[in-house]
Amino acid sequence: MESSAGSAEGSISLADYEVDYSEIMGRLVSCPEECGMCCLCQPEVLPEERPFFKKNYPQFLVRTKGPQPYNALALKKGCGSCVFLENRRCKVYDHRTAYCRQFPYHIYASDKVKVELDLSCRGAWTGKGNDAVAEAKELIKAADSRIIEALEQSKAVYHEFYMNCKEAGVYQDPSMLRMTVSENASMFADLGYLSRIMDLSTIEPVMAIAGIRPETQLDMESLEEAGRELAMDSMSSSDPLSVPVYCDSQWNWNMFMAKDGRIEWLVMDDDGEMHHKEYAEATDIKLKVPDAEGTKVLIDYINTLNQRDSFMGSVFSMMDQNGYEDDMTNAYFGSLAVTVMDLLWRMSMLDHFMHIGTGADGVREAIIFYDMDRLDAPAIGAFV
Ligand code: SF4
Ligand code: SF4
């Protein structure tokens, strides 16, 4: 943790705050020219960015639909990449939005500020490029006033959430939950334990990880069904903007849409056109498990999730939606187990279509496919 940013040059901060850079310490991040994957997400245009676009490209400034509309840049054909992406390069690079500058970093405000790294960005896996912490510090400086505002609100939300938990008798110390997962991360990468954790989280008043025995007679059909339902849910939209995107190692933008139990694999081209590749019946996709090397990559990812405040915030959001019925222990361990199931089913689906395998590379590809959606889950804090 480091005291920050409140002192960005030329700006006046109302308060100092601390920034947790632990997730990105020691990481290098690059942005290969061929990628452009993050330009498939419609970037918000902040009030101070609006004059440039209004003056030079008024036709490309739009208002998004949905319950919380915002000013954004237009997309090709209304659902492709950003209109400013040409040959996978940004035409307005020096004037790109704060959202564009920040990716693949996410600044998450809970009762503190944490920088998280979107592992769907292939540039986060190259092991070369810019020092992630140095880049993030610049972004924190630039977002200073927005962070202060978001932090004030999110601190109040967290305070209220903890009070509600205590009142309902479901509060646990989040740091103790994290410690338990960190000491038992390999259990969350094992189907036998995962199955037990998912069961116990729904039937025990307050489940305990210590003493859990793995399921010896695995009901693969039920596990497969659980993973399938989770993954299919995220693919069940006819809007290309809402379905999961997977940028593969050849820089293709793959999309998957589920309808009536069938999954369609499509590839979006640079003009925003979708091209059909293949169909699969969802029930034909068999749940696969990572091999020993894949399991190591999976355990690393579980440890990353376990340290992410946005992951904890998404568990809290779910507890709030469920009316504080579940103990925080069950909600946290159960959510982590469900997340791993979702990821494993997606790995199995990618393997079905593209033969990515279940080793270290296969699990890594599944994380590249999955992490953006994971970070998109509703959370009670705020992404700045
Ligand atoms: S997803 Fe990552 S590598 Fe790809 S364009 Fe965005 S920042 Fe660059
Ligand atoms: S403004 Fe540039 S960087 Fe941002 S989404 Fe559009 S093309 Fe990508």
Mutate to test the pocket of ligand 1, among 24, 29, 30, 37 (most ligand atoms within 8 A of CB): 37
Q: How far, in Å, is the centroid of ligand 1 from the Cα of 253?
A: 12
For residue 32, the CA-to-ligand 1 centroid distance in Å is 7
Residues in the chain: 384
Residue 32 alpha carbon, nearest atom of ligand 1: 3
Quick one: pLDDT at residue 79?
Answer: 87
Distance CA 41, CA 163 (A): 36
Number of domains in the chain: 1
Domain for residue 212, yes or no?
A: no
pLDDT at 120: 97
| 233 inside domain | no
Please identify every stretch of the chain with a pLDDT value under 50, giving residue numbers as ranges.
1-14
State whether the beta carbon of 280 lies less than 6 angstroms from ligand 2.
Answer: no
In a domain, 97, yes or no: yes
Tell whether ligand 2 has an atom less than 6 A from the beta carbon of residue 39. Answer: yes
Domain carrying residue 11: 2-149
pLDDT one-digit tens code per residue, 235-247: 998 887 789 999 9
Cα dihedral value 170, 174, 175, 180, nearest 10: 70
Identify whether the C-beta of residue 313 lies closer than 8 Å to the C-beta of residue 379.
Answer: yes
- Whether 85 lines ligand 2, by a CB cut-off of 6 Å, is yes
Q: How many angstroms separate the alpha carbon of residue 52 from the centre of ligand 2?
A: 14
Residue 87 maps to a domain: yes
Residue nearest to atom 4 of ligand 1 (CA): 35
Measured between alpha carbons, how far is 184 from 331 in angstroms, rounded to an integer? Answer: 17
Ligand 1 within 6 A of 43 CB? no
What's the gap between Cα 75 and its chain centre? 22
Q: How far apart are CA 285 and CA 230, in angstroms?
A: 14
Ligand 2 mean position, distance from CA 246 (Å): 18
What torsion do the CA atoms of 81, 248, 123, 296 make, to the nearest 10 degrees? Answer: 140
User: Cα-flanking dihedrals φ and ψ of residue 216, to 5°?
Assistant: -90, -30
User: Mind listing the pLDDT tens digit for each residue in 7-56?
Assistant: 433 344 445 789 999 999 999 999 999 999 999 989 999 999 999 999 99
Query: How many Å apart are CA 106 and CA 136, to the nearest integer?
Result: 9
Q: Which ligand is nearest to the CA of 248?
A: 1
Q: What is the pTM of this model?
A: 0.94
Provide the β-strand partners of residue 274: 268
Answer whether residue 38 is part of any domain: yes
In a domain, 131, yes or no: yes
Closest CA to 359 of 273, 279, 295, 276: 295
Residue nearest to atom 5 of ligand 2 (CA): 39
Closest ligand 1 atom number to CA of residue 120: 1
Point out which residues pair with 63 in neighbouring strands: 71
CB 337 within 8 A of CB 199: no
Sheet with strand 245-247: strands edge to edge: 245-247, 253-259, 262-268, 274-281
pLDDT of residue 15: 53
Q: Is there a domain that residue 253 lies in?
A: no
| Distance from C-alpha of 363 to C-alpha of 244, rounded to nearest angstrom | 17
Cβ of 123 below 6 Å from ligand 1? yes
**What is the number of other CB atoms lying within 10 angstroms of the CB of residue 237?**
14
Residue 249, in any domain of the structure = no
